[in-house]
Amino acid sequence: MWRRRVRARFALIALAALGFWALADLTLKAGPSLGGIGQAGGFLRRAWPLDFPPLGEILTQVGRTMAVVLLATLVSVLLGGALAVAATVGRRFTAGASRVALTAARALPDVVLAVIFIRFFGLGALPAVLAMGLHSAGMVGRLYAAAVEQADRGPQEALRAVGAGRIQTFCTAVLPQVAPSFLSIALYRLDINLRISAILGYVGSTGIGTELAMAFGRLDYQRGMAWAVVLFVLCALTEISSGAIRRHGIPARLCKVVAVGGVLAVGWAIVASGVLEVDLAGNWLETLTLFWPPTTAGAELGTALLTTVQVALAATALGALVAVPLGSVAASNVAPNRFVYFVSRAVVLIVRSIPELVLAVLFLLIAGPGPVAATLALAVGASGLLGKLVADSTEQLPPSPALALRSVGASRLQTFFGATFRQGVPDLVSNLLYQLDSNLRAATLLGIVGGGGIGLYLLQAMRTREYAVVTMILLLLFAVVLSLELLATRLVRRIR
């Protein structure tokens, strides 16, 4: 046990050192310049008062956005679930191929997939559904596979002892155990896809993201920020609703009603999203040949990729500085009183509900285009997600060590650092690795809207139709994501 704790502390120190090295190398200053603050103030003055569109238009775009997000999440759950089962239940070759497919899906940026599908199917909802769905399948499948691997092996071994097959054992002994986790992961992915839909609006998606991109594109900040507020409220409501379901589950008496409602919701989403309105564009075989063989075309992709990795590391470190204390007091077993608990939870919810695109726009005005703006935007978003993960994992820690210290007169602060924090270090390292993985892909996306790094070259290659360069960038991202995946898996196993 003590060796695992030492490994966890060493991993935590190493991640912190890498994060602050990235901060120093990106020359991230302690605070924004006065000129940047003045520019942000001028932007806010130009954006006020907010120019909300008519209620009917808001409801229409909200409906389209939620329909696309719902269908994309359904695709990710079905595909990710199938790959997760194959990765954990299948034979060696099938399991290995499934894990490679999950890693490849996570490495492919949503925006690139959307551009590719737009060339196949034209503008509309279908490219957005397929792009978000295929990318999300990688993360959903990874989390599903982790849930299956953590299931109690006793019932599985009992069924196999009497001759049950792999699939029969999974359906009978594993699926009932992991069903709540599967539902929680699906709802969590729904929240993420809703925020991603804003960025896909920049490449021709439908819904609020498109309206947001069009408004900012014509410098109509009053309408653009109005749509940003609408998206924020929608994200907050979705987070509150899905969070309530994750915490309390679905009552058994309502399962049939929920199942029927889910089927009706999918039918409505198909109609409301316009996903069936497909405009087959161009020759598919000719389009595919444009992506091969990969080339750099003289671009310094290695340096740009290093910048993107540094942005992810720096944002994770900055986010952790806020998330650890915030998430700790947002845990019911650490918060000094109910008021602090509810306020902390509210702050975490508000920060998590702000789309990264909106944060990027604000920080681009403060810090100017480049990796600094992307780092600050991702750091704010990371503080919300990490804060929630820290709070949830802290509440699940065994209470006996903390109670033992309190019984001998230790203060709250002494109890926290002597028992609670020490117990939570392995979970914290795991959460930091997960956040780093998420920030790496998000840094690529924010690079497309001005955050620098590999995303800038990706945007240029897509605009100039240098698809062979796009392929090279995807291969580089796949190598980095795969390396991070292998490192995280090995590290988590050694500290658990």
In tens, the pLDDT along 28-67 reads: 444 444 445 555 666 667 777 888 888 888 888 888 888 8
Average pLDDT score over residue span 360-375: 74
The H-assigned helical ranges of 330-463 are: 338-353, 356-367, 371-395, 400-407, 412-415, 421-446, 454-463
**Under 8 Å CB-to-CB from 288, ≥6 apart: which residues?**
none
pLDDT of residue 29: 45
What is the distance of C-alpha 104 from the center of its chain? 16
d(C-alpha 193, C-alpha 136), whole Å? 8
d(C-alpha 48, C-alpha 123), whole Å? 32
pLDDT of residue 481: 75
pLDDT tens digits along 282-338: 556 666 777 777 777 666 777 888 888 888 888 888 888 888 888 878 777 777 778
Any long-range contacts for 434-438 (C-beta under 8 Å, 24+ apart)? 434/389, 434/488, 435/316, 435/319, 435/320, 435/382, 435/385, 435/386, 435/389, 436/15, 436/312, 436/313, 436/316, 436/484, 437/106, 437/481, 437/484, 437/485, 437/488, 438/382, 438/385
Structure tokens belonging to residue 329: 């007091």
d(C-alpha 165, C-alpha 160), whole Å? 7
Looking at residue 59, its amino acid is L
Average pLDDT value over all residues in the chain = 75
Q: pLDDT band for position 222 (50/70/90)?
A: confident
CB 364 within 8 A of CB 303: no
pLDDT at 477 > cutoff 70: yes
369 cis-preceded (ω within 30 degrees of 0): no
Average pLDDT score over residue span 225-252: 75
Average pLDDT score over residue span 186-191: 80
pLDDT of residue 280: 61
pLDDT of residue 9: 66
pLDDT of residue 7: 64
The candidate with the shortest Cα–Cα distance to 210, out of 378, 359, 50, 68, is 68
Structure tokens belonging to residue 225: 């920020």
Domains and CATH numbers, the chain: 12-48+283-495 (1.10.3720.10), 50-281 (1.10.3720.10)
The H-assigned helical ranges of 250-355 are: 255-273, 284-289, 301-329, 338-353
If one compares 35 and 471, the residue with the highest pLDDT of the two is 471
CB 179 within 8 A of CB 102: no
CB 397 within 8 A of CB 420: yes
If one compares 31 and 491, the residue with the highest pLDDT of the two is 491
pLDDT tens digits along 82-103: 888 888 777 777 777 888 788 7
DSSP conformation class of 416? I
Q: Given 3-state DSSP classes, what are the helix, strand and coil percentages for the chain, each rounded to the nearest 5?
A: 80, 0, 20
What is the distance of C-alpha 16 from the center of its chain? 21
Structure tokens belonging to residue 230: 């609408």
Longest dimension (CA), the chain: 75
Q: pLDDT band for position 389 (50/70/90)?
A: confident
What is the distance of C-alpha 65 from the center of its chain? 18
Q: pLDDT band for position 241 (50/70/90)?
A: confident
* CA distances from residue 110 to 72, 319, 444, 481 in whole angstroms, order as listed: 11, 23, 10, 15
pLDDT of residue 40: 60
pLDDT at 435 > cutoff 70: yes
Residue-by-residue DSSP string for 107-147: HS-HHHHHHHHHHHH-SSHHHHHHHHHHHHHHHHHHHHHHH
pLDDT of residue 192: 79
CB 192 within 8 A of CB 173: no
Q: Is the pTM of this model over 0.85?
A: no
pLDDT at 179 > cutoff 70: yes
If one compares 189 and 9, the residue with the highest pLDDT of the two is 189
Q: b/e string for 46-80 if b means 16 or more Cβ within 10 A?
A: ebeeeeeeeeeebeebbebbbbbbbbbbbbbbebb
